[in-house]
Amino acid sequence: MVDTLERTTAHEDDHGHGHEEHHGPGGLLNWLTTTDHKVIGMNYTVTSVVMLLIGGAFAMLIRAQLTVPDGAVVSLSKYNELFTMHGSVMIYLFAGPFAFGGLANYMVPIQIGAPDMAFPRLNAFSYWLYLTGSITMLLGFLTASGAANFGWVGYAPLSNAVNSPGAGADLWIGALILTGFSAIFTGVNLVATIFYLRAPGMTMFRMPIFTWNMLVTGILILLAFPVLTAGLVMLYADRHFGTHIYDANGGGSPVLWQHIFWFWGHPEVYILALPFFGMVTEIIPVFSRKPLFGYKGMVFATISIAALSTGVWAHHMFTTGVVLLPFFSFMTYLISIPTGMKFFNWIGSMWGGQVRYTAAMLFAIGFLLTFLIGGITGILLASPPLDFFTHDTYFVVAHFHSVVMALVLGAMAGIYYWYPKMTGRFLNERLGKLQFWMLFIGSMVFIMPGYVLGLQGMPRRMAVYIIDPTWQNLNIVSSIGGFMIGLSTLMFAVNVISTIKAPKTAGPNPWDAHTLEWFTTSPPPHHNFYSLPNIKSERPTWDYFHPDAPALIHDDHDPSHVPGGAKADAK
Amino acid sequence: MKAEARLLIFLGVFIGIMGIVYGIWSKEWGGTAMLIGTGILGVFPGLYYRWWSKRIGYRPEDRDATMEEGAGRIDTFPGSSIWPFTLGMGCWFLVLSLVFGTWFAVVGIPVVMFALAGGTAESRRGGDPAGH
Ligand code: HEM
Ligand SMILES: [Cu+2]
């Protein structure tokens, strides 16, 4: 079944040709055979939110165990499995796939006026690799020797065949190979779609910032993930084929694994963060009724983050004693500059606007605040002497949870913003705001004690700790925060479930937004558009509905605005 | 196409220079190799796009164009296909064979072959007979 598409415009009749009803198979077969980026994006979104729930359930067990110094909720060895699988599920199976497989898959083609991803079948293949990879990782719990238990980073020599025998570790490796290829194919698809399927007039510098961020994320995926996959293949070879690549006894180098892992791992931090940067950059101007402040600055900040993010990996390895401290410390300070620039642009976009505090906007602001805390403590950790002191303590756990809880807030912002587009229905705003306060306050209550505990020396990855009233009290507070986060997740589940049967009242453009996805119906038809407006700025939908107040043309010298466009320079 | 090319070349050159500085300063060859390799990975496709941008000039999506200027056939998209799922299952079994033994490969390899053949045949059947 193949559809050949013709382009129609907003000025023609609303039911252009090339969009005849799509006759696909129905039901389960439809789900198995779909190549529609919207269905695949939905599949990704739902699967990754399920992974968030599973990883969150592990976190609840971890926090329950830590409420008392000698907790007996789980055994010591089960605890090792739990924090490994909590970290792995959250990073590999929730945060990334949610951002680049879920919302990006759904929104990027629509934002640039494309009918689908460039390679729809590859896109479907990515999803199946992701789903089977997720199942493979979780299968570890069903094996006799349990799931992987060497931390989400799988450091050598802990992850070798002697220290971690058993199927759990191999399932972990296999899962990461599957999800790694899934990510790579998604990266290929994003880049190709954005390079080749933009609508006429949608120049690179008129693309929505979310799309820009996903382009850069796609490029980062392509340069980072192959390194991880290669590293995993070598790890498997060490475990089963008798090679000694990471084995000091055989002349190999355990630190090489760390280099490879973090050469993927630090760009991965930005692969996780950039999509959420993109989401809040869409949301904040819309709910401030202003154009984005500093569009080009935003784009250049994103590109420089990508460029610099490949040169900072060994800030995770300061304590190995064999890395070039000044280089990595300096590069890490550098990368905070473009990230800081974005904060000014976000604040500038709200400044003097008519801010509407919808649930999506609240989550976006919560993202900014929480990410700011993570960013600032990250700058502290970029200083080697400080890192020597806090490495492998709860200070680090608190630092990166400030970042990842910001990602969860960003994910919620994206969901509340785009849910009407994806389903035609609104989530309950009041419950959404309640969920926001529960999640935001819960995150702070959960994170802050960690900073104190870390400075006092509480090591991470420990199921028990010394009996000390201060430590125990701080841990109890942290656990209360954790359970508040759990509660907020239940509120979210209730909110989604209670709207499943609601009438579709959203209409095409409920938020009076800027970008092309709000020009089409909610949910969009097969192949996305009945018609498209002419694209004159980075806010085509706004321009169309507000011809009296078009977006500011942000750069008068941009030659692509030359009438006629014959000699126009494509920026 | 020009902006796209510049983006990739910029990233490639930047990362390549970083790799050279890092290599000379640290003498740590693992990271140096990865950085320079990554740089090349940016420059290669970047130059390819540059070459194309010279040949095809400005596409409607590269300039201030109206929808009418881009009218016509966009591309051919598969409506649905069973082969991605089949291939995914085959790959899953191949990976499981790494953990649980060769039996899984006995299933996995034929499924992968079958899916690759099926998907390829589907591509050749479908699409515009004029060929693109
Ligand atoms: C529901 C809220 C969460 C709670 C209560 C929580 C709790 C924890 C705790 C207490 C640890 C430390 C375990 C230890 O070192 O003994 C931990 C580790 C970790 N968490 Fe979370 N977490 C939450 C959400 C997340 C999210 C959303 C992500 C990522 C997107 C994440 C990623 C990680 C990672 C990567 C580790 C390190 C695992 C390791 O040491 O190998 N967590 N979490
Ligand atoms: Cu890092």
C-alpha to C-alpha distance for B76 and A6, rounded to whole angstroms:
10
Neighbours of ion ligand 2 (CB under 5 A): A 266
Secondary structure letter of residue A118 according to DSSP: S
A28 within a domain of the structure (yes/no): no
Cβ distance A129 to B91 less than 8 Å, yes or no, reads: yes
The CA R_g of chain A, rounded to the nearest whole Å, is 24
Cβ distance B127 to A2 less than 8 Å, yes or no, reads: yes
Q: Which amino acid is at A28?
A: L
Using CA of residue A540, residue A543, residue A544, residue A545, what is the dihedral sign?
positive
Interface of A with B in 241-270 (CB under 8 A): 253, 256, 259-260, 263
Interface of A with B in 25-54 (CB under 8 A): 25, 30, 32-36
A9 within a domain of the structure (yes/no): no
List the one residue out of A57, A238, A233 whose CA is nearest residue A138: A57
> Looking at chain B, which residue has its C-alpha nearest residue A34?
B80
Tens of pLDDT, residue by residue over A465-482, are 999 999 999 999 999 999
Give how many domains chain A has, as a whole number: 1
Three-state secondary structure along A204-231?
HHHCCHHHHHHHHHHHHHHHHHHHHHHH
- Which of A7, A32, A203 lies at the smallest CB-CB distance from B63? A203
Tens of pLDDT, residue by residue over A320-370, are 999 999 999 999 999 999 999 999 999 999 998 899 999 999 999 999 999
C-alpha to C-alpha distance for A96 and A269, rounded to whole angstroms:
9
Q: What is the CATH number of the domain that holds A562?
A: 1.20.210.10
C-alpha to C-alpha distance for A239 and A14, rounded to whole angstroms:
61
Cβ distance B26 to A129 less than 8 Å, yes or no, reads: no
- Which of B65, B69, B73 lies at the smallest CB-CB distance from A4? B73
Cβ distance B80 to A532 less than 8 Å, yes or no, reads: no
pLDDT of A2 reads: 55
pLDDT of B77 reads: 80
Burial class (CB in 10 A: 0-12, 13-18, 19+), A455: middle
A320 within a domain of the structure (yes/no): yes
For chain B, the domains span: 2-63, 83-125
- Which of B3, B64, B100 lies at the smallest CB-CB distance from A561? B64
For ligand 1, atom 5: residue with the closest CA: A482
Token duo for residue A75: 């055994």
A367 within a domain of the structure (yes/no): yes
CB of A397 closer than 6 angstroms to any ligand 1 atom? yes
pLDDT of A25 reads: 55
pLDDT of A20 reads: 39
CB atoms under 10 Å from CB of A543, counted, come to 18
A408 within a domain of the structure (yes/no): yes
Cβ distance A323 to B26 less than 8 Å, yes or no, reads: yes
A8 within a domain of the structure (yes/no): no
CA distance A132 to chain B (A): 6
ipTM of the assembly? 0.93
For A512, the domain range is 39-569
pLDDT of B132 reads: 35
Nearest ligand, measured from the Cα of A316: 2
Q: What is the pTM of this model?
A: 0.92
pLDDT tens-digit profile, chain B (132 residues): 899 999 999 999 999 999 999 999 999 999 999 999 999 999 999 999 999 999 988 888 888 888 888 777 777 787 789 999 999 999 999 999 999 989 999 999 999 999 999 998 888 776 444 333
A17 within a domain of the structure (yes/no): no
Cβ distance A560 to B31 less than 8 Å, yes or no, reads: no
Mutate to test the interface with A, among B25, B68, B85, B89 (most CBs of A within 10 A): B85
- Nearest atom in ligand 1 to the alpha carbon of residue A446 is 5
Interface of A with B in 190-209 (CB under 8 A): 195, 197-205
Chain centroid, CA A25 distance in Å: 32
Q: Which stretches in chain A have pLDDT values below 50?
A: 1, 9-21, 552-571
DSSP secondary structure letters along chain B: -HHHHHHHHHHHHHHHHHHHHHHHHH--HHHHHHHHHHHHHHHHHHHHHHHHHHHH---GGGTT--TGGG-SEEEEEESB-SHHHHHHHHHHHHHHHHHH-THHHHHHHHHHHHHHHHHHHHHHHSS-TT--
A4 within a domain of the structure (yes/no): no
Nearest ligand, measured from the Cα of A400: 1
- Nearest atom in ligand 1 to the alpha carbon of residue A482 is 5
CA distance B24 to chain A (A): 11
pLDDT of A5 reads: 67
